[in-house]
Structure 1
Amino acid sequence: MFCVGLGSGWSWRIMLTIPLKFITVHFFLGCITCCLINYAKPGDDPNIPAIARYFGTKGRYEEVNPYLIEDILAVNKSIVQLPSAECREIHVTAIIRHGTRYPTTKNVKKMQQMHNLVLHKASGKERWLREIQNHWQMWYTEDMDGRLVQKGVDDHKHLAVRLSKLLPSLISEEKLRGGHISFITSSKHRCVNSTLAFKAGLTELWTIEDREFDHVVNDALMRFFDQCTKFVEDVSNNPSAMAEFDKFKSGPEMKRVQEKIADRLRVQYSLITDDMAEAAFYLCAYEFAIKTVNTPWCQLFDEVDAQVMEYANDLKQFWKRGYGHDINSKSSCVLFHDVFSRLDKAAQESKSGQEVSEAVTVQVGHAETLLPLLTLLGFFKDSDRLTSANFATQAQRSFRTSHTLPYAANLLLVLYDCGESGLRLQPLLNEKPLVFPGMADQQVSIPLYQDVREHYKELLEGCDFETECQLFTHPSRA
């Protein structure tokens, strides 16, 4: 039997499955879902949790690009279909999330509470439960607090090598030694260390031992959300801004997940709060992302549970960083203008026959850096807003952080000089081509740079960070 599917923003793929006589109803439904999102079916690899595709911003990069499981340095250069043989890349801006990290102190505390509950309250003879109670050690400590792990170092080293293979004329030893590659990072340890890892990926690739390459710490660009007063006051510090997320956490779907966890542990329903459910889900996700271990904690969730947990995380991201509030995306105006000023400079230098002075810009930040910018650019916008009431109708939503914002997620904007046909701009997310929203009717897959600028004219002429982020005094507050 063949299963053919098309997921949002994903390519067609044919997947050969097992003979019909072995297919259960549960498997058949699972196959449909898997085909739609272009993943192998759960259970193919016992080392990978069946729910790994639902980990949202706690997911590893390999679940977004499964071919990397077999070859972490694999690159599909055919994904970029240039309109003519004249085209040559002249600049790329890469905005990259830090690599895999430890949980934050806040989440470690919740995970410790969940572990204590399982140790002292849970009963049952299931093998997975005995594994947790008798063998699994709570090794997460509060001082880890979101720091980069070795897997996160490898995430960026490997990404650097793959991007050098994808764009060899830009990300090259010559460009690096010539000072044409710049590095900018958030001040957070996980971002600085990711930047160091990215640079190490290149210097080790080319065996550069006689030089070190600087990076610049710039929180105004990479942590703009902390410096946008309107965002901080109206969203970040405003509990009512997350009302839909809070409603979902106390709604029937989450309640059912909590009850199922309580049933599996044989404890009172009242002991499994939404925080406890989240902590158990994170224990599964972190063990896999950091150690590539399919931990017994994952047995507390089936696929439906994982879909609910993923939706809860997406709701949080939607209302705090995405389309939920206008200021979420407008807070990234400073990064938006910085990106286009670099593209403009490269375009002008290329037009005048000069060598592009900054061929590559590598900017390392957070999921909270990438998501507002993607939102400002209009990517992954569904016809209906995500709310606490429409979980059932959002199964095929575009706004899905499991697909877009794993560890080491990256947005590339590649500028090409195509000779007489002009300059063209190609966006890629996680090494896959994107189409600029509202520009799908273009006759070529890579639009003219001038057309992209015209498409975003309103933002380029406006979207002033200081104006957008100013906190106006409402009459009721006067």
Structure 2
Amino acid sequence: MEKTAMAAAVWMLPLLLVLAQFTEAAQEGFDVRQHLSTVSRYGAVKDVIVNNTFVPSNAVDGCTAIHLNLVARHGTRSPTKKRMRELDRLASHLKELISHAEHKKLSLEKLPAWLRSWESPWKGKLKGGELISQGEEELYDLGMRTRERFPQLFEEPYHPDVYVIKATQVPRASASAVAFGMGLLTGKGKLGPAKQKAFAVTSESRASDLMLRFFDSCQSYKVYRKNKEPAVGELKEPVLDKITAALVSRYGLEFTRQDASSLWFLCKQEASLLDVTDQACGLFNPSEIELLEWTDDLEVFMLKGYGNSINYKMGVPLLEDIVQSMEQAIKSHEEKLPPGSYEKARLRFAHAETVVPFSCLLGLFLEGPGKSMFC
């Protein structure tokens, strides 16, 4: 008997939450780019299957997608101004440490040559936080893959009421939406050799964006985060102290805990933005990198994830919007409304502070009833 095609509303959520593992990492085949927590590139593939509990979703036989919801983080970006200043301070302190060691005639044979004259790659840069070329490519490719996966959803001519694209007012998010839209709609218009199509990206005010910047709008969460951050820092201190001591012993410089933290940040930026893994990242062994990754994941867990329900319950308006859009799409399909008269995709571009809490609100990667990955 011939199967009857069933309608299905679909949502997608690129997850950037990395599971911490405490296993000893083998030197051979270890790729630090797969251990960068929320700094990870879209293309960094990491096995997140734990005890065969995670299975990628596939379309149910006989079902046809009629609507798509997407919640995505922006693509790879440059460091913010605050972080660039941190790297400038690191460069200055490294010079002081080396000068002090030379003055005391300490052996620096084990010190990597690059560290002796290192300057921040972002030294002198006045602006930061923008989407970089790699980030543009990530979202452009995601747009193309989305159309390839759901070709039937994007057969109609583009209209902003049919294919709704939203982003926060932060430029890297809106730029990500533009890059995605270019990939999604390439060949759909008449602009240039690639036959691009102009499209609309809308945003809410930062102060009132309850959907994509709920972490800025929820005063209770702001109070919780401010009060919790010192405790999170204390939990990270033993790991940082252990790794700082290892760096001092290994290279002969009197590194501080802040130096170790800044060098780890530099490692993540070099690996993610510059594809350089043999400088700052080379200062740490794989086991230390896994521990540093754990400190990042701990912070995400406590301040953005399952650590407290306030982290993700503030994402309920976003969930309600997704459900409402799905229900409306199903109703329109059942009523056999003509093509082009109802929405077929709602595409949103935001931040890790949006995606991680929302993934927790959906209960993703929650190990057992009422349990989290850190329990």
Q: TM-score range by the shorter chain?
A: 0.7 to 0.9
Matching residue's letter, 2:109: K
Q: Cα distance, 1:345 vs. partner? A: 0.6
CA distance in 1, matches of 2:46, 2:163: 26
Is residue 290 of structure 2 the alignment partner of residue 307 of structure 1?
A: yes
Specify every segment of 5 or more residues in structure 1 that has no aligned partner in the other structure, as ranges: 1-8, 10-27, 32-41, 67-77, 387-396, 400-478
Tell me the secondary structure at the aligned position of residue 151 of structure 2. Answer: coil
> Is the Cα contact below 8 Å between 2:134 and 2:273 reproduced in 1?
yes
Among 236, 256, 280, the residue aligned to 1:297: 280
**What TM-score, normalized to structure 2?**
0.79
Q: Cα distance, 1:358 vs. partner? A: 1.2
Among 104, 120, 141, the residue aligned to 2:96: 120
Cα RMSD (Å) of the superposition?
2.9
Q: Encode CA deviations 1:436-462: one digit per residue, 9 max, x unaligned.
A: xxxxxxxxxxxxxxxxxxxxxxxxxxx
Q: Cα distance, 1:232 vs. partner? A: 1.5
Aligned to 2:8: none
Among 336, 347, 352, the residue aligned to 1:367: 352
Aligned to 1:237: 226
Q: Cα distance, 1:265 vs. partner? A: 3.2
CA distance in 1, matches of 2:121, 2:94: 12
Is residue 138 of structure 2 the alignment partner of residue 155 of structure 1?
A: yes
- Structure 2 vs 1, CA of residues 208 and 305 (structure 1 numbering), >3 Å: closer, same or farther? farther
> Is the Cα contact below 8 Å between 2:311 and 2:357 reproduced in 1?
yes
Matching residue's letter, 2:243: V
> Is the Cα contact below 8 Å between 1:175 and 1:359 reproduced in 2?
no
Among 165, 168, 188, the residue aligned to 2:170: 188
Q: Cα distance, 1:243 vs. partner? A: 5.1
Is residue 200 of structure 2 the alignment partner of residue 217 of structure 1?
A: no
Is residue 256 of structure 2 the alignment partner of residue 272 of structure 1?
A: yes
Q: Encode CA deviations 1:9-64: one digit per residue, 9 max, x unaligned.
A: 9xxxxxxxxxxxxxxxxxx9646xxxxxxxxxx654xxxx7322211011112223
Tell me the secondary structure at the aligned position of residue 318 of structure 2. Answer: helix
> Is the Cα contact below 8 Å between 1:249 and 1:312 reproduced in 2?
yes
Q: Cα distance, 1:320 vs. partner? A: 1.0
Matches within 5 A, 1:353-392: 353-354=336-337, 355=339, 357-382=342-367
**What TM-score, normalized to structure 1?**
0.63
Tell me the secondary structure at the aligned position of residue 88 of structure 1. Answer: strand
Q: Encode CA deviations 1:296-338: one digit per residue, 9 max, x unaligned.
A: 1111111111111111111111111111122111111111111
CA distance in 2, matches of 1:314, 1:65: 15
Matching residue's letter, 2:60: P
The count of residues paired between Structure 1 and Structure 2 equals: 328
Among 117, 128, 131, the residue aligned to 1:145: 128
Tell me the secondary structure at the aligned position of residue 295 of structure 2. Answer: helix
Q: Cα distance, 1:290 vs. partner? A: 1.4
CA distance in 2, matches of 1:366, 1:196: 15
Specify every segment of 5 or more residues in structure 2 that has no aligned partner in the other structure, as ranges: 1-14, 16-22, 48-54, 102-107
Is residue 352 of structure 2 the alignment partner of residue 352 of structure 1?
A: no
CA distance in 2, matches of 1:114, 1:317: 24
CA distance in 2, matches of 1:377, 1:157: 26
Aligned to 2:6: none
